[in-house]
Amino acid sequence: MARRLATTLLTVIAALGVATPPAQAAVDFTGTVKLSNCSGSLVRLPGSRPADKALVLTNGHCVELMKAGQVHVDQPADRTFKLLDGSGAEISTLQSTRLVYATMTGTDAAFYRLDKTYQQIQRQHGVRALELSATRPVAKAEIRIASGYWKKIYSCRIDGFVHQVKEASWTWHDSLRYTPSCDTIGGTSGSPIIDDASGKVVGVNNTGNESGGRCTMNNPCEVDAGGKITVRKGTNYGQQTFGFVACFGPGTELSLSLPGCEVAKP
């Protein structure tokens, strides 16, 4: 019955000449990039303009293994990124001019600014940047993790949110835990976590417990609000990115003093 009613409604809409909204395209490699040591993605803010210099999102640890509490802001950065098309083919090399932000404190994220605008990249290569979601993702949502380094897309769900993920000297807050089918490996660090329904980036993939170790390098543990530690061997994690939207003003300019910007500061 519901299917028949839906079909009738679409027929009426078509008769009235009203355009139906396009279906969300399946997640592919469009907008992803390959770094020398990691994965990443070409991203835009909800308010980004075509003439803005484009941004690349990856992990802070893909810049360097920073000390706890260390934050890089607006530094010169001469780095290249291989841009992928939807099929995973490398179609161009993009060049950064600045490291806009990088940290491994509270989260594990980095943003580079490129020497080209979103409009230039789209016109020259037919690739549109992925949009950062401004809202917190929800548990059990279907996600895709697209690795430009390995040219592989992982499909799973958000299993839940972790109060703290601890790995060696680093602590990350409100992390995403994946269901088992997102069995990410080295090189997938920095991959965008894409909400399958909206096509928007909700996080950045960063770590996983490889051998069952407790809160050590490559063996992160979970810590709840009461301090209880849980080790989940083989479980992988990512860091949410919606909080960064409040930290950017017009022109993809970072401003850590903006209201609602709560990321780590120097």
One-character DSSP codes across 158-182: EEEEEEEEEETTEEEEEEEEE-TT-
Cα 257 from chain centre: 23
Token code pair at residue 9: 């409604």
Q: pLDDT tens digits for 205-263?
A: 999 999 999 999 999 999 999 999 999 999 999 999 999 999 999 888 999 999 999 99
**Which residues does residue 195 pair with via DSSP β-bridges, in sequence order?**
143
CA-closest candidate to residue 126, choices 45, 203, 56, 29? 29
| Angle CA 116–104–240, to nearest 5 | 75
Whether residue 11 has pLDDT greater than 90: no
If you compute the radius of gyration of the chain from its CA atoms, what whole number of angstroms results?
19
- Would you give the DSSP letter of residue 235? -
- Would you give the DSSP letter of residue 44? E
Distance CA 142, CA 162 (A): 17
Q: pLDDT tens digits for 131-178?
A: 999 999 999 999 999 999 999 999 999 999 999 999 999 999 999 999
Measuring CA to CA, how many Å separate 111 from each of 9, 58, 92, 106, 168?
A: 45, 7, 19, 15, 23
pLDDT for the residue 24: 59
CA-closest candidate to residue 206, choices 245, 247, 177? 177
